[in-house]
Amino acid sequence: MGGAVVDEGPTGIKAPDGGWGWAVLWGCFVITGFSYAFPKAVSVFFKELMREFGIGYSDSAWISSILLAMLYGTGPLCSVCVNRFGCRPVMLAGGLLASLGMVAASFCGSIIQLYLTTGVITGLGLALNFQPSLIMLNRYFSRRRPMANGLAAAGSPVFLCALSPLGQLLQDHYGWRGGFLILGGLLLNCCVCAALMRPLEAPRPAAGPAPPRAPRRLLDLSVFRDRGFVVYALAASIMVLGLFVPPVFVVSYAKDLGVPDTQAAFLLTVLGFIDIFARPTAGFIAGLKKVRPYSVYLFSFAMFFNGFTDLTGSTARDYGGLVVFCIFFGISYGMVGALQFEVLMAIVGTQKFSSAIGLVLLLEAIAVLIGPPSGGKLLDATHVYQYVFVLAGAEVLTSSLVLVLGNFFCIGKRPEVAAEEERHKPPEDVRVDSREVEHFLKTEPEKNGEVVHTPETSV
């Protein structure tokens, strides 16, 4: 993610494709894991928080929603900070903020204070770590960049497998306050990862000052004139309304059925373990020559599969049924995660992808703030978990229909064809930097003039 960031670092530096880059890769792996797994892992503490503060399901669900919204919606802020201060200082500040938020949360006396500490402060800290880490990873890897981004993206399900049972263990031994305090200490590892992000230095010119770099816009709003982008943004926003609801409520659902706390927390471990293998598998299938032209329809199928899984999961009546649900949800969730940004790149092309992804994430941040709390409101009104899963499944199914029907009826050409014609159209009033052209030809010789498929778009 982090597509809204325009800080490109010094030009004229060959990516090491190894060496210290492996340390940068490890740091990116850890930060990706914390950023995406943390909002789901804190759901283990929801039952205890509800007893402590006398609140409902919707009130506790706001914690995960605010965390996700901060991660999704602060792309432009991260861009400005990186452009002004650089990657490493921003990440160090983000690691301190993330830790401070959880430590302060352990002393909170109301749910509102938890929203501000765990939600806003920790969420902002994770966001300030995530986007700069991907920038540094892409600077250190060129030839091996697809593999590097794939390994870094695997941090999300790996950490989900570890953090959920760890959170339950901490709650059992130290209570939710002690658990939050220890998790805050763990988040200080983000500062260690930030220290690994050693910037690359450009060689000094032989004579004369370096030519000034042409300024670039942070966000290109012209993407809204692309019908394909509008259809995609609408479908993605509807999808996010229900996509994150099942992982937030599945642990509480199991506890409500009488499942022991430790076994209930293990459900997220099952989901994360399946997700580890689903993401690279889906990316490999989407990259096949005969499949890639129809990646939009494959993405629509992944959303349909996810929504259908939610509907069938609502029929689970015991722990075994929930385990089967988590297995299939992990497969469909991994497919969606692997395909969503690859499809966006195919629709808008590589030149506008950075602006498009930033705008999409801002729209999704609004949906993230609505999705889990609306499910919690429904649960408070009905006290039936099945209705929550049915609502989430209906929203994701609707998004799949919006995408496939919008693509079929509203877009006359396939995204790849339109992007190809757009690239061969002579530019109007655009000044091309020769260094950017030279960098493009050197790093992508076999893909010159085509939409490039890179795993970093499948985070």
pLDDT (average), residues 304-319: 90
Q: Which of 92-106, 133-147, 423-437 has the lowest mean pLDDT?
A: 423-437
Structure confidence at residue 458 as a pLDDT band (50, 70, 90): very low
Residue 26 burial class via C-beta count within 10 angstroms: exposed 0-12, middle 13-18, buried 19 and up? middle
Query: For the segment 203-230, what is each residue's pLDDT rounded down to a tens digit?
Result: 666 555 655 555 556 666 777 888 888 9
Residues 371-390 pLDDT 10s: 777 887 888 888 888 898 99
Higher pLDDT, 3 or 42: 42
Q: What is the pLDDT of residue 219?
A: 60
The pLDDT of 339-357, averaged and rounded, is: 70
- Strands, DSSP E only, in 212-262? none
C-alpha torsion 28→32→35→37, nearest 10: -140
Measured at the CA of 451, the angle between CA 290 and CA 74, to 5 degrees, comes to 120
pLDDT value at residue 102: 93
User: Which pTM was predicted?
Assistant: 0.67
Mean pLDDT throughout 281-310?
85
Least confident segment among 37-41, 98-102, 103-107:
37-41
Cα 216 to Cα 161: distance, rounded to the nearest angstrom: 40
Residue 60 pLDDT > 60: yes
| Greatest mean pLDDT among 20-34, 276-290, 409-423 | 20-34
Among 254, 239, 242, 314, CA closest to 43: 254
**Residue 455 — pLDDT band, cuts 50, 70, 90?**
very low
* Confidence at residue 239, expressed as pLDDT on a 0 to 100 scale: 92
Which residue reads 């993407």 in tokens? 223
What is the pLDDT, as a whole number, of residue 288? Answer: 75
Is pLDDT at 450 greater than 50 in this prediction? Answer: no
- Res 328: pLDDT: 94
Q: Among residues of the chain, what percentage have pLDDT more than 70?
A: 78
The C-alpha angle 396, 402, 403, rounded to 5 degrees, equals 95
Whether residue 310 contacts residue 390, with contact meaning beta carbons closer than 8 Å, is answered with yes
User: At 253, is the secondary structure helix, strand, or coil?
Assistant: helix
Pick the more confident residue, 85 or 195: 195
Helix (H) or strand (E) holding 249: helix 245-256
Residues above pLDDT 90, as percent of the chain = 23
Q: Is the pLDDT of residue 104 over 60?
A: yes
Q: What is the pLDDT of residue 452?
A: 43
Residues 61 and 98: their CA atoms lie apart, in Å, by 19
Is the pLDDT assigned to residue 201 strictly greater than 80?
no
8 A C-beta contact, residue 114 and residue 108: yes
Torsion of CA 339, 342, 346, 351, to 10 degrees: 160
406 Rama class: left (phi>0) / alpha (psi -120 to 50) / beta: alpha
Domains detected in the chain: 16-199 (1.20.1250.20), 220-413 (1.20.1250.20)
Closest by CA to 307, choosing from 251, 355, 235, 379, is 235
Residue with tokens 């260690």: 192
More confident residue, 418 or 50: 50
Q: How confident is the model over 349-373, as pLDDT tens digits?
A: 656 666 676 677 778 888 877 877 7
The predicted structure's pLDDT at residue 203: 65
pLDDT reported for residue 208: 55
Cα(176)–Cα(172) distance, integer angstroms: 8
Residue 445 or residue 354, greater confidence: 354
Q: Chain-wide mean pLDDT for the chain?
A: 78
Token pair recorded at residue 37: 């797994």
Task: Answer yes or no: is pLDDT of 91 > 50.
Answer: yes
pLDDT of residue 412 exceeding 60:
no
pLDDT band for position 255 (cuts 50, 70, 90): confident
Residue bearing the bigger pLDDT, 307 or 251: 307
What is the distance between the alpha carbons of residues 247 and 68, in angstroms, rounded to a whole number? 13
8 A C-beta contact, residue 40 and residue 248:
yes
